[in-house]
Structure 1
Amino acid sequence: SYAPRGINLVERGGRWHFQTAADLAHHLRPSREVVRKLSRAAVETLAIIAYHEPVTRPEIEEIRGVAVSGGTIDVLLEAGWIRPAGRRETPGRPLQYATTPGFLAHFNLTSRRDLPGIADLKAAGLLDREPPRELALPFSGDSE
């Protein structure tokens, strides 16, 4: 009997498997948050989406002047800060992106109208330096 050891032998689909006991499964979930800093490309992409949504990847690339990697978009999607927002009715029907309520909540905004204007960003010196620490993404998982 494996029951007192925290695992169960279960049959699933005609095959036998060991499975963590349900009452102990919470011990296997990540218990610490690891903070990873967003890349400059991700910050720029997020800002473009926030200010121009709905916006397509080619439009983001045109504004940034460089290609946007799929990984950059994926990081923002996984963080819950952007979402697919339909397809543009142009040749190729590119996917459009928009911000989410999670984006607004993380940055303590009630709507996109609360985003600072260009003059505010320049005055704060945010257009010429590395992204601020507040843009770090919390990821669950062990850092070990």
Structure 2
Amino acid sequence: MKTYLKYDSELQGILIASFLISFILINFLDGDFAMKLIIFEFFMIAIVQYTNNLIKFFSKIYIRTDSRYVYIFLSSYVVIGFIIWALSSIFDINKGSISLKNIFELMAISWLILSPILIIQSLVISYSDKKENYEKPAI
């Protein structure tokens, strides 16, 4: 686990680079395949970043900075909100309820705004963790 977390920033960089390359190649790929690829890569980035930051948040090795607290709070809002939205769609809970539909629409808009911010913030946190924990000079 320690080796995996040591190379966390590189893994995130590769996932983000492949995500951006997919956007560039969208004109050259089949539309349906390109959308599935982009959605898959987006969720891979989200899963990797969220799990890595949760592991680091509860680890005693990593410093709990304000940035990490903000990331955990905002990303938990997105993840929990997405799970609630998915479950309500599966079980058709919000059928006929305009207020729930409006709330989920507002949440989706906030996810669109927060997602790029959280991706960048997680990458910055990972690079600072690497600098703090793995590139310290031996005394």
Bin for the TM-score computed over the shorter chain = under 0.3
TM-score of the superposed pair, with normalisation by structure 1? 0.22
Bigger relative contact order (CA 8 A; separation at least 6): 2
Larger Rg, first or second structure (1 or 2): 1
TM-score of the superposed pair, with normalisation by structure 2? 0.23
Which protein is richer in helix relative to its size?
Answer: 2
Which protein is richer in strand relative to its size?
Answer: 1
